[in-house]
Amino acid sequence: MRISGAKNAMNRAIQDLLCRPLTTKEKNLVWEYFKSRCAYCDKRINRAHRHGHMDHLDCSATGGGNAIHNRVLACKECNGNEKREQNWKRFLKSKCKDAETFQHRLDNIKVWQKQCPKPIATVLSTQAEKAKLAVEEAVKNFEEKFVHLRTLIRLPQ
């Protein structure tokens, strides 16, 4: 696992505490809106084969949360192997053969986001704020230890 993948996993864990994961009903809405097609490459996704991912447009490491407005349907190749922590608009552009295709897919995602507006921010409870700070500290410590370990065993950057 790359360090960015581990950091993302840690950030997702705290997001799940602060912002609940999608419900089954919400996941069904994502599948229906995107018509079982990847929001990025437009590949048809067979739900029975579990190749569809509820991708975060903005990853949790950069402040994207679990709310439905930040989620799109993505194929396992786009979400699992290619996009990673890239900016979603830049990644979307790389998946489109021309400007017209890009604009069509971008508009589709923007309509989705307008249908599912961003929830009103809530003030974090004292406990949640402490948990968030603890995770941020753990991520920072992890990064420092990982860099140190890499120098000890001379892993390529």
CB atoms within 10 A of CB 40: 25
Q: Which amino acid is at 153?
A: I
- Candidates 57, 72, 68; CA nearest to 22 is 68
| pLDDT bucket at 30, cuts 50 / 70 / 90 | very high
Provide mean pLDDT across the span 101-114.
97
* Domain boundaries, position 17: 3-153
Comparison of pLDDT for 104 and 11, the residue scoring more? 104
Neighbouring residues of 116: CB distance < 8 A, sequence distance ≥ 6: 29, 67, 68, 69
Single-letter code of the amino acid located at 142: F
Helices assigned H by DSSP within 38-125 = 76, 88-94, 99-115
Residue bearing tokens 């929830």: 119
Task: Place 3 in a pLDDT band, splitting at 50, 70 and 90.
Answer: low
Average pLDDT over residues 97-114: 97
Task: Say if CB 89 and CB 35 are below 8 A apart.
Answer: no
Rounded Cα gap, residues 65 and 40, in angstroms: 19
Residue 55: φ, ψ to 5°: -80, 145
Structural domain count of the chain: 1
